[in-house]
Every structure is written in structure tokens, then in C-alpha cells.
Chain A
Amino acid sequence: MLRLLTCAGVLCLLAVGAGIAAAVSRQDPLEKAAAVQRLASVATIDSNTEPAAVPASTPHPIPARMLDSGVPIPVAPSVLQLRNGWLVSDGRKLVAIYAGAAGDHPPTGRVVVVRQNLGSGRQTIRTVDARATGALTITAAPLGRSVETSAQTGRIHLRTAAGRALHLDLGTETLGSG
């Protein structure tokens, strides 16, 4: 009965518009209810009709570098069991490579390619599988400032769990031997 009364009142489940649903926790229902009510009160028109200033956009390249285990990975463990990663950006386009094994099937070697067009904002995430190779590890990749653009379509060298050499062609995003 307590549950029913709580839900039936102001502290009940509430969905907002076409997007977000929220609910109330019994630990501090008023607290969550306030946040939910805030969502419900958001208007669809701004009272301010003046445009805001647009921040300056200057390309900030990131030299090609390996990513160690201290750098967070955006790819979930269910998708990739990470071995190591690599990253480069010329300030307009960014490529990040994460190598390892498929999270849902560890015998499968997997590379995840994250690309980002910093102008358009388009961010893509693509997985490339290597069949039953075990986890893949990046062994060599372009590094430094001089390759910030060229490396985005270059080669990333990989090693399978059994020690076999593979490479990832970033131009085609395909795996090959050697």
C-alpha cells in the first residue's frame, strides 16, 4: 500500500515529453520528485531571442600517440576487452583505435575505430573483427606531429594472441596479414 500511495501521488513515475522518463526513489522521494518536476517544466521556446556569441574555432591537432591503460576508453567491456589503443587528430578529423578481443566472444580479435569530424560533429564507431585470433594488440603505429593527417589513412600493426602479425588499413578499415 505504501508503494501504491507513493506512486499515485506527486512522487509517482513521470515521463516528460517524448524523451525522458523518471521515477521517484523511496530513499529521498521529494528530492527526485523535484528533479522530475523540473524536467516537466522546461519550455520549448526561449525568452531570449538574441543569438549567443560563437566561440572561436581554432584547430588543435593531437600528435599521434599510443594510449596507455590510464586513459579512459569509450568502448564498453561488453563490446571490447581492451589491450591497447592509439589516437591522432589533425584538428579537423580525429581517429582513435582500440584493440583487443570481442567482449561478447573473447576468442574473436577485435578493433574498434572511432572517427570524428570535428567540424560536422559526426562521430562514428565501427568494429572490425579478426575471427578466432584471440585478443589483438597494437604493436606499431605512426607516432608524432608529422603524421597528424597522413596517419589517419595509414597502417596500424597488430599481433594476435598466437603472435601472428596483422595490420589494419585505416584507409579501408580492413584487416590484412603482415
Chain B
Amino acid sequence: MRCAACVLAVLALFPAAASATPSPVAAWYVYGSSPAELASYAYSRGCQFARSQPGGGLRLLLLDFGAARKLSSGVWGTIDFSNTIVANADILAALEAAADGYHNCHVRGSVDIAYGNSNYHLSGSGMSSTDAWYAGYHQSERAEDLSDYQATKGYDSQTSDASSDMEPSWDAASITKQLVNGDAAQGWSLYYDFGSADGCPQSGSSDGACNNGWHVSDVGYVSYHGLAMPLPEIYYSVNAAQWTVMRKWWNANQVDDYVFAGVTATTGAGLTPTAAWNTLSSLNGGLVGSEVACFGC
């Protein structure tokens, strides 16, 4: 009976969210060499996403700009996958270019353009927990800036949010939580967690240990606290089992009910995108939204 009304509401309004296997949409890791290249690259990704967007619903365009970083006093951004330092101002320009690209190539449906980063080696780069909080805060702020741009431009088929690949193996739970807290404090962006539950238990519902000193409750925090929403990596069947434990722990210990926005998938791993969604959905019937963000697709 716990929140049966919620599930019924979803089933009634959006049957696809509870039953049908959704079509994946592409997500991208950003490898840049300059801010100008980033904008051009993001424009093309926005256009490509629009041209290939399946169905008429709202889909997530996820651009992962790399690890969150404090670049200098009062300046936040990322270090991307090619070791290029990218300030938030340049990321915003790239996101605006993605919005332009989506607009120019729009065919159907709508898009939520997400500024993605990760918790990769935050502490190792010299960032404090306060720095991580500001990283999340400014990430949400830039997403809101993008929304303002979309509104000003008349891009009514678009909105914006933030996201983070939060992996227990990459840094401690305490500093990673600050990304989520900063986002929540700024208050604009949903904060999609497209990370993992590395090393977490595969059965039960207890607050078991995960990798790097994390516990199930920590994964729950970064994926559902405040404005966080889980879009978990489901690369192998075991990942679906781990996230199911996560959901059960949350529901046994929190007042609200835990639902998944969908899944993050990849090529080059054990499960296809469709199998990833089906596997998580089979263990969490009616509680998995129909987003499938796929890297490498």
C-alpha cells in the first residue's frame, strides 16, 4: 500500500513509463581541445540528437564534461576527458550551442539538456567539501542560465538540468554528497545521478558496505536527496541487483518512495541498452521511468 497511488498515477498517465521498453538516446563524453571546439561540438550533438530523437516525448540530452573542478578562486568548471580545463562560462556557451543545434534540427518531441560532470578525484585535485558544494551550486546555476537562454530564444521544446556520474570508487561519499547539496541549495536543477553503486550488496535491503567506504545509504543520498534523481549505470545484471537493494533500503528507511528516472547504458559492456532497462525494470516493476541514456550508442 505504500504509495500505491503514485504508481497508479504513473500507470494511468504514462503507460510507457511502467511497461514498454523505451528506445535509447545517445549521450556523449566530451573530449575538447578549446572552448571554441566545445561549442561547435555541442551544436552538432544537439542537432544530431534532435534528428534521431525517437517518439514525441521529453528526452534527456546528456553531455558529460568530465570531472568537477575548482579552477581558481571563485571559478568552477571541469577537466574534460582530454585533459582540457573548461570553465563553467565555456560550458554554458557549449550548452547554449547544443540548444541552438537542437532547435535548428528539431523534428519532434522535446529535450532536457543536462550539464554533466563527475566526482572523479575531487579530493585528489585539492578540492574541499566546500568547493564541491559550490561546484554543485554553480552547476545548477549554469543549468538555470541555459534555461533562461532557451526561454529568451523561444526554444519552448527545451529545458535544462544538471547531472553527475557519481561513482563510489572515485571519491569519498562525504565530498560527493556536497555536489548534490550544492545543487539543492541553488534549487533549479534536477540532479541526475548517472553513476554506480559499485561494490554495494546484491541482495537484501540493509545499509551494507560499498566500495571506498560508501554504504547503500550514501548511494541513496546522492541519487535521491534534494533534487537528485537516479539514472543509474546498468552495465551488467549485477548493477540492477545493487540498485534494487538501494531502492529497498530507501523505502524501508525514508518516508517517500524511491523511483528511477530510467537507466544509463553503454556499449562495450555486458548489457545492451534495452536489456539494461528491462533488467532494472524486472526487479522494480512500475518504478523505472522510460529514459535510457546510452554512451556509445
Listed in ascending order, the chain A residues whose CB lies under 8 Å from chain B are 2-4, 6-8, 12-29, 31-32, 35-36, 38-39, 42-48, 51-58, 60-62, 65, 67, 69-74, 76-79, 87, 89, 94, 96, 104, 112, 114, 116, 118-121, 123-127
Contacts and interface: CB of A to CB of B under 8 A. Distances in A.
A47 B106 CA distance: 12
Given A32-B226, A52-B103, A77-B196, A61 B33 contact: yes
A94 B31 CA distance: 8
A60 B33 contact: yes
Contacts of B269: 78-79, 127
Given A12-B5, A45-B156, A78-B196, A19 B33 contact: no
Contacts of B121: 69-70, 72
A24 to B, nearest CB: 6
A59 to B, nearest CB: 8
Nearest to B152: A48
A60 B34 contact: yes
B154 A20 contact: no
Contact of B55 (A8, A18, A119): A18
Contact of A62 (B82, B120, B259): B82
B216 interface: no
Given A4-B2, A20-B291, A79 B268 contact: yes
A20 B262 CA distance: 7
Contacts of B259: 13, 21-23
Interface string B111-131: 010000010110011000000
29 contacts: A3-B255, A7-B3, A8-B6, A18-B22, A18-B54, A18-B55, A20-B58, A21-B262, A21-B288, A21-B289, A21-B290, A27-B184, A39-B58, A42-B158, A42-B159, A47-B156, A48-B154, A56-B40, A60-B34, A70-B79, A72-B66, A73-B120, A74-B295, A77-B211, A78-B196, A87-B82, A96-B81, A123-B29, A125-B267
A94 B37 CA distance: 13
A51 B104 contact: yes
B255 A28 contact: no
B256 A23 contact: yes
Interface residues of B, number: 114
A22 B14 CA distance: 12
B9 A12 contact: yes
Per CB-CB distance, the 8 closest pairs between chain A and chain B, nearest first, are A21-B289, A17-B57, A48-B154, A18-B57, A125-B296, A52-B100, A15-B17, A13-B6
B112 A39 contact: yes
Contact of A114 (B29, B224, B239): B29
B72 interface: no
Contact of B16 (A18, A65, A69): A18
B262 A14 contact: no
A13 B114 CA distance: 21
Given A57-B40, A121-B44, A121-B48, A35 B189 contact: yes
A6 B63 CA distance: 33
B57 A55 contact: no
A116 B257 contact: no
Contacts of A70: 79, 83, 121, 124-125
Contacts of B195: 76
A98 to B, nearest CB: 10
Nearest to B83: A71
A58 B40 contact: yes
